[in-house]
Amino acid sequence: MDDSTPTTQVDVAIVGAGPIGLCFANALSRQGVSSMLIDRQPRSAMADPGNDGREIALTRASQQILDRLGVWSGIDPAERTRMRAAKVFDGQSLFAMEIAPGATRDDPLGCLVPNRVIRRAAYGALQPEAPGAGDILWRDEGEIVRFQANEAAVDIELGSGERVQASLLVAADSRFSTTRRAMGIPARTYQHGEQMLVCRMHHDEPHDQTAWEWFGYGQTLALLPVDTHCSSLVLTLSPEAMAQQLALSDAAFDADITRRFEGRLGAMHRIAEPHCYPLVSVYAERFVGHRQALIGDAAVGMHPVTAHGFNLGLQGLARLAELVGEARQQGRDIASPALLRRYQREQRLATGPLFAATLAIVGLYTDDRPPARLLRKAVLRAGETAWPIRRLIAGHLTRSAS
């Protein structure tokens, strides 16, 4: 780096202004901690993100964190869908395990919000006119070209040539994080060999505010309730089968999806463009380094089947921001090894079991061999009769933030 270039000082440099990076900068600013958000995208794309087809199932704890950050109030109530219950089907069986909070019909299991809407609200909550918006520097269409963590700070050079000095460098740049790699942090990566298609469908029969997860043979299907006669379709197929699916005409696609759901919701029609995602799960071997930390998908990239990636990311950023804020108030180093170790320990405890359980579910319910088919049914029956299993799942979704 050229020593004559002026250096920008900031408490925390965050790479990635996705929903997690945006919410982390927000949480820090509420603790009086300054940050710089560095993202490849232009500001216009952050302010008005395109539709990516994802409907995010938010737990009660996530809604509370978003509320504290002033993000929840920026989400139009018409964009929030209350999910009353979830049904899990296996194979060709009509039998379903139903998961519900168990109280009244007004007590929802969770709430579905389009990812595009969450991103827009997370960005809006950081604009100068938003209440509580704090000390944030924006470097859009930007990226880090190199950095070096020293005793007291991290020296960073951006693609523009700007030099930045931060007490802490945080990677929030997706499950394919290049910053994590540059930090020298290895990650366990699971290629599931399948692709996931998401898009909204209209259907003749109502869904009763119930989500469906259907582990069929050779396909996994889910429906997430939106309006009374509209749901978000989630279809998981092999890459070859997905290519054929995407090549279908509109009418053939509709007929095919109606057939896959065996007409259980009547005729179905696609009402939005489909989006396709390769299924890759990632778990970083460490969440911290010297003056460095990982948050969001850069730390834990969950398989979407259990709908927890963003929820776990929110918990993690709230945890790290609180520790940093406490250290700032007490005049301590905001990136001390003890603080970062504590964040890592707590976040691994919060994410490790669910990550492992999700991998086990994916492994079992995508295995169509006869012994696995028997086990799949047995697990579902056990879940149906064993109240503790259902209560555990429902409890996880409806638990409040601490």
Ligand X SMILES: Cc1cc2nc3c(=O)[nH]c(=O)nc-3n(C[C@H](O)[C@H](O)[C@H](O)COP(=O)(O)OP(=O)(O)OC[C@H]3O[C@@H](n4cnc5c(N)ncnc54)[C@H](O)[C@@H]3O)c2cc1C
Per DSSP, the three-state class of 345 is: helix
CB 232 within 8 A of CB 199: yes
Token pair, residue 241, equals 């089968």
Nearer to ligand X, 190 or 277 (CB): 277
Nearer to ligand X, 18 or 124 (CB): 18
Q: Give the residue carrying structure tokens 């250096």.
A: 7
Q: Shortest distance, CB of residue 396 to ligand X, whole angstroms?
A: 12
Residue of the chain from 74, 114, 225, 309 that contacts ligand X (CB under 6 A): 309
Nearer to ligand X, 299 or 335 (CB): 299
# residues contacting ligand X (CB under 6 A): 32
Nearer to ligand X, 21 or 327 (CB): 21
Position with the least CB separation from ligand X: 18
Cα 33 to Cα 133, 157, 186, 327: the distances in Å are 12, 21, 29, 10
What is the enclosing helix (H) or strand (E) of 264? none
Nearer to ligand X, 68 or 373 (CB): 68
Token pair, residue 348, equals 């691994």
* Residue 178 is a binding residue for ligand X (CB under 6 A): yes
Q: Give the residue carrying structure tokens 């990516």.
A: 52
Residue of the chain from 173, 210, 355, 397 that contacts ligand X (CB under 6 A): 173
47 φ, ψ (degrees, to nearest 5): -70, -35
* Residue 310 is a binding residue for ligand X (CB under 6 A): yes
Nearer to ligand X, 18 or 327 (CB): 18
Token pair, residue 274, equals 């489909």
Q: How far apart are CA 99 and CA 57, in angstroms?
A: 14
Residue of the chain from 13, 37, 38, 158 that contacts ligand X (CB under 6 A): 38
* Residue 18 is a binding residue for ligand X (CB under 6 A): yes
Q: Shortest distance, CB of residue 20 to ligand X, whole angstroms?
A: 3
Residue of the chain from 304, 366, 383, 394 that contacts ligand X (CB under 6 A): 304
* Residue 143 is a binding residue for ligand X (CB under 6 A): yes
Concatenated DSSP letters for 274-304?
-EEEEEEEEEES-SEETTEEE-GGGTEE--G
Span from 50-58, 128-136, 246-254, 261-269 in contact with ligand X (CB under 6 A):
50-58
CB 51 within 8 A of CB 391: no
> Strands 136-139 and 85-90: what pairing?
unpaired
Cα-Cα-Cα-Cα dihedral sign, residues 67, 223, 226, 95: negative
* Residue 81 is a binding residue for ligand X (CB under 6 A): no
Residue of the chain from 39, 157, 194, 213 that contacts ligand X (CB under 6 A): 39
Residue of the chain from 60, 297, 316, 343 that contacts ligand X (CB under 6 A): 297
Interior angle at CA 378, CA 372 and CA 384, nearest 5: 140
**HSE-up of residue 1 (Cα within 13 Å, Cβ side):** 21
Q: Shortest distance, CB of residue 377 to ligand X, whole angstroms?
A: 26
> Strands 35-38 and 163-171: what pairing?
unpaired
* Residue 225 is a binding residue for ligand X (CB under 6 A): no
Please name the residues in contact with 140: beta carbons below 8 A apart, sequence gap of 6 or more.
17, 39, 41, 42, 43, 46
Q: Shortest distance, CB of residue 384 to ligand X, whole angstroms?
A: 23
Residue of the chain from 11, 16, 211, 321 that contacts ligand X (CB under 6 A): 16
Q: Shortest distance, CB of residue 197 to ligand X, whole angstroms?
A: 9
Q: Shortest distance, CB of residue 338 to ligand X, whole angstroms?
A: 25
* Residue 233 is a binding residue for ligand X (CB under 6 A): no
Q: Taking CB under 6 A as the rule, which mask of x and - marks residues 331-370 in contact with ligand X?
A: ----------------------------------------
* Residue 311 is a binding residue for ligand X (CB under 6 A): yes
Which of left, alpha, beta for 38 (phi over 0: left; psi -120 to 50: alpha)?
beta
CB 136 within 8 A of CB 37: yes
Q: How far apart are CA 130 and CA 124, in angstroms?
A: 7
* Residue 277 is a binding residue for ligand X (CB under 6 A): yes
Span from 90-98, 171-179, 185-193, 240-248 in contact with ligand X (CB under 6 A):
171-179
Q: How far apart are CA 70 and CA 64, in angstroms?
A: 10
Residues at the site binding ligand X, with contacts judged by CB under 6 A: 15-21, 38-41, 54, 56-57, 115, 143, 172-174, 178, 196, 198, 277, 296-297, 304, 307-311, 313
